[in-house]
Amino acid sequence: MITLTQLEYIVAIDSYRNFSKAAEKCFVTQPTLSMQVKKLEEHFGIKIFDRGKQPLVPTNIGRRIIDQSRVVLSEAGRLDDMAQEYMGEISGELNIGIIPTLAPYLLPLFAGNFKRHYPDVNLRVVELVTDQIAEKLKNDTLDVGVFVTPYNDPVVLEEPLFYEEMLIYAQTGHPLLQQQDVKIIDVATPDIWLLSDGHCFRSQVINLCDLEPTSKHELPFELEGGSIETLLRIINREGGFTIIPELAVNEMSESNLKNVVSFSDKRPLREVSICYSRHYVKRRLIDLLAEEIKLAIPAEMKDRSRGELVLWK
């Protein structure tokens, strides 16, 4: 007879591509996990994993069985959700992935309040770029992601939370700060500090300014990093300018606020959404998380009509 535990084991092996690591994550010994997988393979009369390859990969039929196992486990998890909802219990663990250009500004706004309102929920947060979050949502190693959309993946569901304006930050005395009106064309130059490849905000800036990603620049060095705070500190010392998201302005000192200007010819926005897989389990917790984030965000940032969406994909 097939058990949910056996399905959990093969899903874990698929996620970590290693028997030892999967056993550790499932809190069992490797021999126990291997034996249960072997029993499952004997039940079906097929091999689920190709053990001759490293890292471990599923066979063709194994891939289909694992994908269906994820669906079965997700639906089984909904039974717990339904029972907890009926009893009015709000508890469990919620694994959240959030992009680095949001994490330092958004997390402080909602995480503390969420924990105070729902003390029996254990929040586990990891900073990752968007593609990594989406992949982990699809293989069920994350419950929910907070990142910039539209992402346009049929397996990932998106629920917009707010719309963040894209603003200019320049060093004190920079010519852009002296202009009465700053248009998109004024910043459409390769001499702009950008985040490293892989960050959706970098792609949005490139799309907004119609930049060539590989064009030459005269900056003192190239930066491969994902921290807006690092960019701001470099600009303060070395000069130049960059584009920053609206929430980054909240914690700025008054002196740095003078270095922030808006575009005069358009109001570029990035859409921030809560995202989850089509086979998500923790529906109630995800809904409560979305609620808490929306409560923490200023009302004007929830207005889609206040500007023009900048796509990144």
Which range among 21-30, 140-149, 207-216, 275-284 shows the weakest confidence by mean pLDDT?
A: 207-216
**Tokens at residue 201, please?**
């905000």
Q: Tell me: do 296 and 258 sit in the same domain.
A: no
Residue 8 confidence (pLDDT) above 80 = yes
Tell me if 48 sits within 8 A of 41, measured CB to CB.
yes
Q: What is the pLDDT of residues 213-253, one digit of tens each?
A: 554 455 555 665 668 888 899 899 888 899 999 999 988 88
Q: Tell me: do 52 and 119 sit in the same domain.
A: no
Q: Tell me: do 65 and 104 sit in the same domain.
A: no
Residue 4 confidence (pLDDT) above 60 = yes
Average pLDDT over residues 155-163: 95
CATH number at residue 107: 3.40.190.10
Q: Tell me: do 62 and 122 sit in the same domain.
A: no
- Contacts for 102-108 with beta carbons within 8 Å, 24 or more apart? 102/146, 102/147, 102/245, 102/247, 102/272, 103/127, 104/228, 104/229, 105/245, 105/247, 105/248, 105/250, 105/251, 106/146, 106/247, 106/272, 106/293, 106/296
pLDDT given at position 25: 86
Q: Tell me: do 51 and 123 sit in the same domain.
A: no
Nearest to 111 by CA among 277, 295, 250: 295
Cα separation, 259 vs 127, whole angstroms: 28
Cα separation, 163 vs 154, whole angstroms: 22
With pLDDT > 70 as the criterion, what percentage of the chain qualifies? 93
Q: Tell me: do 108 and 198 sit in the same domain.
A: no
Q: What is the pLDDT of residues 191-211, one digit of tens each?
A: 788 887 777 888 888 888 877
Cα separation, 236 vs 38, whole angstroms: 60
Cα separation, 10 vs 59, whole angstroms: 12
Pairing of strands 121-127, 92-98: parallel
Q: How many domains does the chain have?
A: 3
Which range among 99-103, 118-122, 230-234 shows the weakest confidence by mean pLDDT?
A: 230-234
Q: Tell me: do 103 and 177 sit in the same domain.
A: no
CA angle 173–175–176, rounded 5-degree value: 105
Q: Tell me: do 203 and 191 sit in the same domain.
A: yes
pLDDT given at position 66: 92
Q: Tell me: do 171 and 263 sit in the same domain.
A: yes
Q: Which of 35, 68, 85 is the last residue of a domain?
A: 85
Question: H/E element holding 243?
Answer: strand 241-245
Average pLDDT over residues 279-284: 76
With pLDDT > 90 as the criterion, what percentage of the chain qualifies? 59
Q: Which of 26, 60, 85 is the last residue of a domain?
A: 85
Residue whose pair of structure tokens reads 């949910």 in the numeric block? 4
pLDDT class for 212, splitting at 50, 70, 90? low
Average pLDDT over the chain reads 88
Q: Tell me: do 150 and 274 sit in the same domain.
A: yes
Q: Which residues pair with 93 in a beta bridge?
A: 122
Average pLDDT over residues 43-64: 90
Q: Is 259 left (phi over 0), alpha (psi -120 to 50) or beta?
A: alpha
Q: Which of 58, 85, 112 is the last residue of a domain?
A: 85
Q: Tell me: do 73 and 153 sit in the same domain.
A: no
Q: Tell me: do 231 and 245 sit in the same domain.
A: yes
Nearest to 312 by CA among 264, 272, 267: 272
The burial of 235, by beta-carbon neighbours within 10 Å (0-12 exposed, 13-18 middle, 19 or more buried), is given as buried
**Tokens at residue 7, please?**
């399905």
Residue 273 confidence (pLDDT) above 80 = yes
CATH number at residue 14: 1.10.10.10
pLDDT class for 46, splitting at 50, 70, 90? very high
pLDDT class for 174, splitting at 50, 70, 90? very high
- Contacts for 35-42 with beta carbons within 8 Å, 24 or more apart? 36/3, 36/5, 36/6, 36/9, 37/6, 37/9, 37/10, 37/13, 39/6, 40/2, 40/6, 40/7, 40/9, 40/10
Residue-range definition of the domain harbouring residue 19 = 4-85
Tell me if 117 sits within 8 A of 292, measured CB to CB.
yes
